[in-house]
Structure 1
Amino acid sequence: MMHSCSQRRRMIRSLCLIFSIYNSVLVFASHAKHLCRPDQKEALWEFKSEFYVHGFHSDGTPVDKKTERWKNNIDCCSWDGISCDPKTGKVVELDLTDSFLNGPLRSNSSLFRLQHLHILNLGSNNLSGILPDSISNLKYLRGLSLSGCSFYGQIPSSLGNLSFLTNLDLSHNDFVGELPDSMGNLKQLTDLGLDHNKISGDFPHVLLNMSELTQIDIGSNQFEGMLPANMSSLSKLVYFDINENSFYGSIPPSLFMIPSLIQLYMGRNSFSGPLEIGNISSLSTLGFLALGENNFNGPIPRFISKLVGLWYLDLALWNTEKGKVDFSIFLHLKSLTFLDLSYINTRSRVDLSLFSDLMSLGYLDLSGINLKVSPTLHLLSPIEILTLSSCNIAEFPKFLEMQTSLSYLDISANQIKGQVPKWLWRLPLLRYVNISQNSFTGFEGSAGIIQRSEILLLDISSNTFQDPFPLLPNSTKFFLGSNNQFSGKIPKTICKLVSLDTLVLSDNNFSGSIPRCFENFSTKLSVMHLRNNSLSGTFPEESIGDHLKSLDLGGNRLSGVLPKSLINCTRLEFLNVENNMINDTFPFWLRLLTNLQVLVLRSNEFHGPISSPGFSLSFPKLRIFDISKNRFTGVLPSYYFAGWTAMSLVIDIVDIMPSRFEGRDSGNLYNSVSMTAKGLVMELVGSGFTIYKTIDVSGNKLQGDIPESISLLKELIVLNMSNNAFTGHISPSLENLTNLQSLDLSQNRLSGEIPPELGKLTFLARMNFSYNMLEGPIPQGTQIQSQSSSSFADNPMLCGVPLQETCGRGDDATTQEQEDEDGEKDQVLSWIAAAIGYVPGVFCGVVIGHILSSYKRDCPNSKDVKPWSSDPLSVLRRRRSDTAEFMEGLCDMNLREETLGQASSVRVVSPHVLLLRDVM
């Protein structure tokens, strides 16, 4: 019996072994048989051919492109980015993220033949176009990522047919419109990413029916309205981001009652009122709470002290209505590593030692709070980023000497005097230092800044620093030293900073020539701003590198010509050489710089024509064009402004000041443009001016007709063509400039009448037609009528309100509008008469035309008149995110004109000269 059992065991083992080997052979054979199915390989190969693959790294080296390594003689299931089902050989995963694919995703793309795809990732490619409805052909998709692909248009409703989807990422595109209701069909969806698009409408209620959602990110869109009350239906929600939208009203308490919620981003909206959450449990799992930059008012709610798991808290710009704040509520939050209480509008004076018990703090921002900083203060927390801007600090904080973890320090806009202590540069991890807008006079130590430090950013602007110029460490990438009292020549020690990216020395007393040593780092320097000094000589050609993005040399004494080596700066976006003595012809070669957004040649000695016969001057991204107060001559052809796309279309505003400082961004702080608008000279500083689209050719000797192509620039806001020798009539096609807010055609030789069509420009707050040869009545009852009489002065044949000259009286007076319509009818009737017949018909037609022409003169005409209206200046928010709204309000202001006189431009002391600063 035992022998029999032993034999049976051996037999069973043998059978299992044989079965295992047989099964492996079958699987291997099946695998070998089905891998790289011909139809799948063909679809992939065709998909590759649909795109132009091109791209380079920032250092100019070619990128590693996955599809270029695909080989037709190799199993497609082993191609980069491809995964197949080992049993069927069908492609189930396609990951071509960041593969530099260029071209639209077509509705008949071979991609949609890969109908068994489970995962599709085409993120970070340039697939600019509309996402086709045929995406729904991939009905087995579990994960779909199309982030950063430049898609635009609406999100197709067919996405709702992908019922197996669990992950959907459409972030960082240009999708518009509302979220389709069909998205509610995605019942299995857990992760939804729609952030950084232009999606609008109320909060998508369809999301409330998607009960499996754990992550929702719809931040940085254009959503508005109030959040629904029943947010708790998202019972599995862990991550919720609605940052940077236009939601308003109160936050529903149900949101805080979701037990699984860990991260909540609600900053930069318009939520208002006191925050009332109710009886929240101290067992809440919430760890991340961002409510900053809203419109909350009233006391900071004490319930926050119960959220003991918080490690990130942002309450910036909370309006306590200048009440007192009980800062002790934060002492219960022992896990805090990030705390932002900046600009909470409290009259409380806070002792910084209050935060000594928060031992985990790595980020602390108390800007805008009146702080008491004791000389004996000692913070034990390992703070890495500390921002104490605008805190009324009078002495350099000595406790910083012991903050050995500090990497970023901002103590700008305080009242600190004296010298910067030399121990600051011994902090081993310090990289970013902003001590601007104080009253510092120098640096301790004979050598200034100690070379052993590894400073990347140093902002000492707007102090009273004097010579000697500080000795900067070789590691410096961003040096901002504007608005001080440095003098003499620009020190050549700067030339040793081989990593320098941004150099701003504007508004000092530097003299002499620009150093000829900048070629040492010309391949890296992207920003050079030396405006408002006393620099002379020519700009050295060798100081211009191909990385240059922003060059500002305005307000100096530079002479010679504009260096043609700028033609190599293909990244150049901002060029300002105003108020110098440059003697050159118009730099036509600048048209090759396709990224140029701002070109200011104002107040120099440029001369000659700005056009050439048969030559088209195209600036596709230009938004500010100022060549005023030079000696340009010649006639502008009618097509001159064709191809100036940025002024013709609505496109995104691009920040010009370039460098985004590591750790914290600089914003657009150091660009500056002076411009004449509404009769006043305004200095636009920072990002505010980038919303302007302006053309100023005033103060030259340009002749001929105003180019008809000017009417193509539908986004133009300011147009100044005054003080020239333009002739001809004002074209009615200017009515196409529907965003125009300031129009100055004064001091030319224009004739004819003022077109009534200009009255349709409802944003046109100021216009000036004075000192021309215009005639006829000023159109009645339009926006034009709101102007003062000085806007029409010295046109001897012009009449009507607001001028004192009347245009006639009684039955003998007819309006110019009637004459225009009469002329049109004459022309139409003449064509009718001419068409009556051949030979005798011509004679009859002329007679009939004459009779009808005589008859119609007795028929009065009437014309609807659109009343003038102007929006009042809106209430302005203080933060940098509202600069565009501020500028819009600025352009709608009715500024007083009594200070203007007859001058073409006047720089007036506050409030008429507006200095706008975008504060970091």
Structure 2
Amino acid sequence: MAYTLYYGRSCGGIPSKTITWDENGTKDCSVWSGVTCDNRTGHVIGLDLTCSSLKGVIHSNSSLFFLRHLQSLILSYNDFWGSTISSEFGKLTHLVHLEIFESGFSGYFPPEFSYLSELVSLGLSSNDELILDTFTLKRIFSNLTSLEEHYLFQVDMTSVEPVSLMNLSSSMTSLTLDFCNLQGNLPDNIFYRWPNLEKVSLEANENLTGFLTKTNWSSPLKYLDLSFTEFLIDLPYLTESIKSLETLRLSSCKILGWNPTLLLNLTQMTSLDFSFNNFGGQVPWSFLNLKHLTYLGFQFNNFTGQLPDINAHNSSQISFSSDSSKNQSLGPLPLYLERISLDGNLLDGKIPHWIYSLQLLQILTLSDNQFTGQIDEFNSRSLKELDLSHNKLHGPIPRSIFQQVNLTWLDLSSNNLSGVVGLDEFSRLQNLISLPTILMVNSQFHHHP
């Protein structure tokens, strides 16, 4: 049975799974939502109570800990504030998959987790309320020799010595320790301990240092996120040695040897983020794998110039060209782009028409630049976030913006927009959770009730 850790999902009004347990008056747990039973023995082997609106403290004598045959336990997105990660979890020795995201657990990570020797995937998150120290980490992970997926988010690891991560299983395929306040130096050779490693994410451990040494990278790494750490990144070595990368996120890192031509080595790239790195020159469109790119993040650098326009050489091929008179091809139209974030640069000129034609685009943030011209109509209805604020845009607000039914964030402030729009237009955007003062900062913009 394969398991995958999921984090960041939304319950979105999902009804509690426990509601159905007594609907038919049956005690047959195999028909209960979220419950999986062994067909032969009848034992409960799986319990998924994600988004079940459960509240209260899970005490050490809870009936949960009598389900000794459990192989999979998911308690994510409930409200167990005041509960600790009880040492009784250590009695569930057949667990293969354990996932508890955003459910309010607090206190110290119990060393009894070391009894879960069959665990393959572990996912936990807290708001720095759950604490893991070096002693407990060493004890736990020296025994979890089958662990492949390890995800901790906002677990307080302030006192953990980074070298102790060497105790993690050599079978590790995915390691995520985001926002965990890891401090100190990560050993240079640590990543080579895991030959099957496909994902590393150490985002926002701002006092964590390290260096990717110039040694042959043996693992098939696909995902690397060292954003907002003190890692030294030898970019020429990285792009030459790890060509299997599909996601590379290096926001606010100490990047050595930046040269946009190095991006040509990353032929599998689908997601790229180099935000907050003080890069200059033009956005390196011609060196990107635009054919498969879904996420492009270059926020808060010093990129200048205009975004490329589309140049159609013939009916069968569409290419970019930064200067259509020179007919310079910069690659195929990025049909799969879902996010473009270029805020906080020095870009100017018009927003090119090809951006408005992207059918899968969900997030477009171009704020704090010097874009001019009018905002065109969007051809799709896929937008979730749109931020074009603090530019020099003028003209009316396109009607297509009010047809973006999934839009949660809209900011067009600090431009020179004009025209008339009814407040009922905004009422169509029922998922909108943020609408800055658009009526106040566009002096020629009017509204009617």
Give the TM-score, by structure 1 length: 0.39
For residues 141 and 454 of structure 1, do their structure 2 counterparts lie closer, same or farther at Cα, with a shift above 3 Å needed? Answer: farther
For residues 439 and 450 of structure 1, do their structure 2 counterparts lie closer, same or farther at Cα, with a shift above 3 Å needed? Answer: farther
- Which residue of 1 is the match for residue 241 of structure 2? 379
What is the percentage of aligned positions where both structures have the same residue?
25
Could you give the per-residue CA deviations for residues 209-232 of structure 1, whole angstroms, max 9, x where no partner exists?
111211111122222432222433
- Which residue of 2 is the match for residue 14 of structure 1? none
Stretch deviating more after TM superposition (359-368 or 201-210): 201-210
- Which residue of 1 is the match for residue 57 of structure 2? 202
For residues 409 and 286 of structure 1, do their structure 2 counterparts lie closer, same or farther at Cα, with a shift above 3 Å needed? Answer: same
Aligned-partner Cα distance in 1 for 2:21–2:339 = 47
Q: In the alignment, which of 104, 110, 121 is matched to residue 246 of structure 1? A: 104
**Are the aligned partners of 1:544 and 1:565 in contact in 2 as well (CA < 8 Å)?**
no
Following TM superposition, by how much is the alpha carbon of 1:571 offset from its aligned partner in structure 2, in angstroms? 4.4
What letter matches 2:77 in structure 1?
S
Following TM superposition, by how much is the alpha carbon of 1:336 offset from its aligned partner in structure 2, in angstroms? 1.4
Aligned-partner Cα distance in 2 for 1:303–1:555 = 48
Q: In the alignment, which of 239, 250, 266 is matched to residue 388 of structure 1? A: 250
- Which residue of 1 is the match for residue 267 of structure 2? 404
Whichever structure has more strand as a proportion of its residues is 2
- Which residue of 2 is the match for residue 138 of structure 1? 26
- Which residue of 2 is the match for residue 311 of structure 1? 173
Q: In the alignment, which of 207, 228, 232 is matched to residue 90 of structure 2? A: 232
- Which residue of 2 is the match for residue 507 of structure 1? 368
- Which residue of 2 is the match for residue 302 of structure 1? 164
- Which residue of 1 is the match for residue 3 of structure 2? none
Secondary structure of residue in 2 paired with 1:246: coil
- Which residue of 2 is the match for residue 415 of structure 1? 278
Q: In the alignment, which of 215, 232, 255 is matched to residue 113 of structure 2? A: 255
What letter matches 1:211 in structure 2?
R
For residues 203 and 398 of structure 1, do their structure 2 counterparts lie closer, same or farther at Cα, with a shift above 3 Å needed? Answer: farther
**Are the aligned partners of 2:74 and 2:100 in contact in 1 as well (CA < 8 Å)?**
yes
Report whether the alignment pairs 1:188 with 2:54. Answer: no
Following TM superposition, by how much is the alpha carbon of 1:295 offset from its aligned partner in structure 2, in angstroms? 0.8
Following TM superposition, by how much is the alpha carbon of 1:279 offset from its aligned partner in structure 2, in angstroms? 7.8
Aligned-partner Cα distance in 2 for 1:258–1:508 = 52
For residues 211 and 391 of structure 1, do their structure 2 counterparts lie closer, same or farther at Cα, with a shift above 3 Å needed? Answer: same
Following TM superposition, by how much is the alpha carbon of 1:401 offset from its aligned partner in structure 2, in angstroms? 2.4
Aligned-partner Cα distance in 2 for 1:302–1:228 = 23
Aligned-partner Cα distance in 1 for 2:90–2:119 = 10
Report whether the alignment pairs 1:329 with 2:190. Answer: yes
What letter matches 1:206 in structure 2?
S
Secondary structure of residue in 1 paired with 2:23: helix
- Which residue of 2 is the match for residue 646 of structure 1? none
Aligned-partner Cα distance in 2 for 1:447–1:570 = 30
What letter matches 2:131 in structure 1?
S
Secondary structure of residue in 1 paired with 2:65: helix
**Are the aligned partners of 1:511 and 1:533 in contact in 2 as well (CA < 8 Å)?**
yes
Report whether the alignment pairs 1:220 with 2:68. Answer: no
Aligned-partner Cα distance in 1 for 2:265–2:350 = 37
For residues 255 and 472 of structure 1, do their structure 2 counterparts lie closer, same or farther at Cα, with a shift above 3 Å needed? Answer: same
Aligned-partner Cα distance in 1 for 2:362–2:140 = 52
Aligned-partner Cα distance in 2 for 1:333–1:486 = 42
Following TM superposition, by how much is the alpha carbon of 1:438 offset from its aligned partner in structure 2, in angstroms? 1.7
Following TM superposition, by how much is the alpha carbon of 1:449 offset from its aligned partner in structure 2, in angstroms? 10
What letter matches 1:386 in structure 2?
L
Could you give the per-residue CA deviations for residues 254-284 of structure 1, whole angstroms, max 9, x where no partner exists?
2122232211112335222523242865782
Aligned-partner Cα distance in 2 for 1:580–1:124 = 34
Could you give the per-residue CA deviations for residues 417-463 of structure 1, whole angstroms, max 9, x where no partner exists?
2334455224653332212222222489x8699997999xxxxxxxx
**Are the aligned partners of 2:421 and 2:448 in contact in 1 as well (CA < 8 Å)?**
no
What letter matches 1:348 in structure 2?
T
Following TM superposition, by how much is the alpha carbon of 1:286 offset from its aligned partner in structure 2, in angstroms? 1.6
**Are the aligned partners of 2:312 and 2:319 in contact in 1 as well (CA < 8 Å)?**
no
- Which residue of 2 is the match for residue 357 of structure 1? 217
Alignment of 1:645-664 (within 5 A): none
- Which residue of 2 is the match for residue 343 of structure 1? 204
Following TM superposition, by how much is the alpha carbon of 1:510 offset from its aligned partner in structure 2, in angstroms? 4.2
Q: In the alignment, which of 293, 310, 316 is matched to residue 430 of structure 1? A: 293
- Structure with more relative contact order (C-alpha pairs < 8 Å, separation 6 or more): 2
For residues 133 and 250 of structure 1, do their structure 2 counterparts lie closer, same or farther at Cα, with a shift above 3 Å needed? Answer: closer
Aligned-partner Cα distance in 1 for 2:172–2:17 = 42
For residues 403 and 479 of structure 1, do their structure 2 counterparts lie closer, same or farther at Cα, with a shift above 3 Å needed? Answer: closer
**Are the aligned partners of 1:413 and 1:438 in contact in 2 as well (CA < 8 Å)?**
yes
Q: In the alignment, which of 85, 109, 124 is matched to residue 266 of structure 1? A: 124
**Are the aligned partners of 1:339 and 1:364 in contact in 2 as well (CA < 8 Å)?**
yes
- Which residue of 2 is the match for residue 562 of structure 1? 421
For residues 558 and 370 of structure 1, do their structure 2 counterparts lie closer, same or farther at Cα, with a shift above 3 Å needed? Answer: same
Aligned-partner Cα distance in 1 for 2:195–2:66 = 37
Secondary structure of residue in 1 paired with 2:211: strand
**Are the aligned partners of 1:334 and 1:358 in contact in 2 as well (CA < 8 Å)?**
yes
Secondary structure of residue in 1 paired with 2:421: coil
Report how many residues are paired: 409
Following TM superposition, by how much is the alpha carbon of 1:296 offset from its aligned partner in structure 2, in angstroms? 1.2
Report whether the alignment pairs 1:547 with 2:408. Answer: no
Secondary structure of residue in 2 paired with 1:208: helix
Aligned-partner Cα distance in 1 for 2:83–2:318 = 50
RMSD: 4.2
Secondary structure of residue in 1 paired with 2:117: coil
Secondary structure of residue in 2 paired with 1:290: strand
Aligned-partner Cα distance in 2 for 1:306–1:522 = 45
For residues 258 and 449 of structure 1, do their structure 2 counterparts lie closer, same or farther at Cα, with a shift above 3 Å needed? Answer: farther
- Which residue of 2 is the match for residue 158 of structure 1? none
Aligned-partner Cα distance in 2 for 1:129–1:279 = 32
Aligned-partner Cα distance in 2 for 1:273–1:503 = 38
Following TM superposition, by how much is the alpha carbon of 1:539 offset from its aligned partner in structure 2, in angstroms? 4.2
Secondary structure of residue in 2 paired with 1:562: strand
What letter matches 1:371 in structure 2?
L
**Are the aligned partners of 1:249 and 1:271 in contact in 2 as well (CA < 8 Å)?**
yes
Could you give the per-residue CA deviations for residues 709-747 of structure 1, whole angstroms, max 9, x where no partner exists?
xxxxxxxxxxxxxxxxxxxxxxxxxxxxxxxxxxxxxxx
For residues 552 and 577 of structure 1, do their structure 2 counterparts lie closer, same or farther at Cα, with a shift above 3 Å needed? Answer: farther
Report whether the alignment pairs 1:211 with 2:74. Answer: no
Whichever structure has more helix as a proportion of its residues is 1
**Are the aligned partners of 1:523 and 1:545 in contact in 2 as well (CA < 8 Å)?**
no
Following TM superposition, by how much is the alpha carbon of 1:364 offset from its aligned partner in structure 2, in angstroms? 1.4
Secondary structure of residue in 1 paired with 2:192: helix
For residues 284 and 349 of structure 1, do their structure 2 counterparts lie closer, same or farther at Cα, with a shift above 3 Å needed? Answer: closer
For residues 419 and 506 of structure 1, do their structure 2 counterparts lie closer, same or farther at Cα, with a shift above 3 Å needed? Answer: closer
Aligned-partner Cα distance in 2 for 1:416–1:487 = 16
Following TM superposition, by how much is the alpha carbon of 1:481 offset from its aligned partner in structure 2, in angstroms? 3.9
Aligned-partner Cα distance in 1 for 2:213–2:222 = 15
Aligned-partner Cα distance in 2 for 1:478–1:571 = 22
What letter matches 2:31 in structure 1?
G
Alignment of 1:136-175 (within 5 A): 137-145=25-33, 166-167=36-37
For residues 417 and 230 of structure 1, do their structure 2 counterparts lie closer, same or farther at Cα, with a shift above 3 Å needed? Answer: same
Report whether the alignment pairs 1:290 with 2:151. Answer: yes
Give the TM-score, by structure 2 length: 0.74
For residues 353 and 578 of structure 1, do their structure 2 counterparts lie closer, same or farther at Cα, with a shift above 3 Å needed? Answer: farther
Secondary structure of residue in 1 paired with 2:303: strand
Alignment of 1:825-840 (within 5 A): none
Following TM superposition, by how much is the alpha carbon of 1:497 offset from its aligned partner in structure 2, in angstroms? 4.8
